[in-house]
Each structure stands twice: as C-alpha cells, then as structure tokens.
Amino acid sequence: MSAPDTAVEIIEVGPRDGLQNQDALLTTAAKIELVERSIAAGLRRIEAVSFVHPGRVPQMADAEAVMAGVPRVDGVRYAGLVLNRRGAERAVAAGVDELNAVVVASDTFGGRNQGVTSEESVAVWREIAGVAHSAGMPATVTVAVAFGCPFEGEVAAARVGEVVRRVAGEGPAEIALADTVGVGVPTQVAELAEQSAANAPGTPLRFHFHNTRNTGYANAVAAVQAGVRLLDASLGGIGGCPFAPAATGNIATEDLVYLLERMGVGTGVDLAAAALAGTWVCGLLGIDPPALLGRAGGFPTASDDAR
C-alpha cells in the first residue's frame, strides 16, 4: 500500500526527549545550538525543554535558561513538556509557545514516571490544560506507554481509547500516542489510530515512536497510511525515557525524512542539514549516532547524478 501524496509535520523532540536519557550533560549553549541547527534544517515545531524536578531529570535543569536563549523566528514554535501545574506555570513564565502534558495508560508506569496512577494523571492534565487556556496557549497531551508497559506488559487498545476519550474533554490541540518503550507494531498503530479518531473526533492525532526493537519506522509508515500527519522524531535518533528499562532512542529525524520523502510525502526538512545536526549532537554526547543517514547519506548522491 503506497502512502498518499501529502505532507507530514515532524515535531523535533531531540532537545528534550533526545537529551533527557543521556549520561552526558550538555551545556545550555550547546542545547541552544541544537535548537538553532534544528531550525536551520527546516524544523518548525521543537520540543525544546521540560519543566520537571531537576533532581529526577538533571539533564533538563536549565529549562528557563534554554528558553531565554533560543532564537525567536517567525513560524517556529517551542513546546515545553510539563508533568504538573507547577511545571505548566514555569513553562508559561519561560515563554514557551505550547505545553505538552503526559498522561499514562498504565498505573505502574505512572507511579514510576510521575508518581500518579492513570486516573490521577488525567486529573493533572485537566489542571495543566486550565493553565494553558488561561495563558491563551495551546496544550497537547501525550498518552505514554500506549503500545505496551515495561512493568505491566500489554496495554489493551480499549484502555488507551478510554484515556483518549477522557483527555479529549479538555480540548487538547493534539493527542499524541507514545510507544514509550518501542514495543509497538504497525497493526497496533492502525488500531489505535482508528480508535482514537472515534473517541476524540476532530482532534488531530500525533504519534511518538521509539526504535528500540527496530519497528519505529514501520510504525511511522503505518501512521501516515492511517491518515496521521504529525510525527515526533529526534535528530540523531537519540533519546529514551529515564524511568523505563531499555527505552532506547526515538526514531531519527533524518532517517524519517529520507523515508517519507522517498515515498512522496513532503516534510519541509533539509535532509543534509538534519543529518549533519544529528551527527554533531551525537559527537557532543560521545555516542555513535543511532541514525543511519549521517553515515550512508541520501540517495541518489551527487556523484550518482554526475555519472
């Protein structure tokens, strides 16, 4: 089945989700440069920071300083991840353009990640949505472990659908379904997309995939074929959840761009610039890039064209 001739918006999560699980702590200046490189590559929605307790996620301790230093460019929007009202208030004060809250589809994961049950996380989302609405800014909500929980195992699609139905009542700008630990497969994508559309009609759906078990890109294709037009990705393929065992990197922005563009799906992202940015940030972190485009390059190459 071929993908439709259309466009997908990639939300760059490298500066937040990409860095939060790394051993190396980048300087504020380096984080700002990662944002700048993201913009230069054509990315226009960037999850730049998270407003969480620095003791739990020290990689995000300088969120206010990062937001104070990022460039303000027409058409570029910065999101901040928040887990509670206090985080939402900090994010608004720091000048983010949108809030991204997290609810959980599993009680055990919620307890490990946020100290709340699934039900309690929905209540917290309502508070965060209220802060956003009072500030006149959009709020999105991500449903974590929507494809499976590292502690409880399978998460029923019906349970995810019920969470989606409940969060939709607060008018989120988008609902994102996250494969937090990279266990999902394309059939789940199709099922969850259909169920979410039924339970939150009219609300744009976004997907957040990890490539932990090498299914992330197949899942991205399945999402596009299901009509989804919003996908998260991380330059270099870095990332992961600090509170989930074996939760390795996000799908790589540059690899996703290559995949979609070759399918005839536009992204507006400069592949070469994205690949260079991914290689650069992995060099700062002292890791080999999970992304492949920085090594393999695009196709056809300039030398191929010349022959």
Q: Would you call 241 a catalytic residue per the annotation?
A: yes
Q: Which two tokens stand for residue 73?
A: 């460019």
Residue 242: per-residue pLDDT: 66
By mean pLDDT, which of 15-19, 20-24, 252-256, 268-272 is the weakest? 20-24
Q: Which entry of 104, 124, 145, 241 is annotated as an active-site residue? A: 241
Note the pLDDT of residue 243: 62
- Whether omega for the bond prior to residue 300 falls within 30 degrees of 0, making it cis, is yes
CA 50 → CA 33, 84, 172, distances in Å?
17, 11, 18
51 within 8 A of 91, measured Cβ to Cβ: yes
Does 297 have pLDDT greater than 70? yes
Q: What value does the mean pLDDT take over residues 156-174?
A: 97
- Which of 210, 293, 234, 245 lies closest to 18 in space, CA to CA? 234
Residue 1 has pLDDT above 70, yes or no: no
Q: According to the model, what pLDDT value does residue 267 have?
A: 98
| pLDDT tens track for 96-152 | 999 999 999 999 888 877 888 899 999 999 999 999 999 999 999 999 999 999 899
Cβ–Cβ < 8 Å for 85, 128? yes
3-state secondary structure 101-151: EEEECCHHHHHHHCCCCHHHHHHHHHHHHHHHHHHCCCEEEEEECCCCECC
241 Cβ contact list (under 8 Å, min separation 6): 20, 21, 113, 180, 181, 247
Q: What does the pLDDT read at residue 111?
A: 80
- Among candidate residues 52, 33, 40, 46, the one with its CA nearest the CA of residue 79: 46
Q: Using alpha carbons only, how large is the chain's radius of gyration in Å? A: 18
Bridge partners (DSSP) listed for residue 104: 144
Q: Give the pLDDT score at 247.
A: 65
Work out the burial of residue 198: count CB atoms within 10 Å of its CB; fewer than 13 is exposed, 13-18 middle, 19 or more buried: exposed
Whose tokens are 């990689």? That residue is 59
User: pLDDT, tens digit, for every residue of 256-296?
Assistant: 999 999 999 999 999 999 999 999 999 999 999 999 999 99
CA distance 85 to 92: 11
- Alpha-carbon distance 84 to 126, whole Å? 10
Residues present in the chain in total = 307
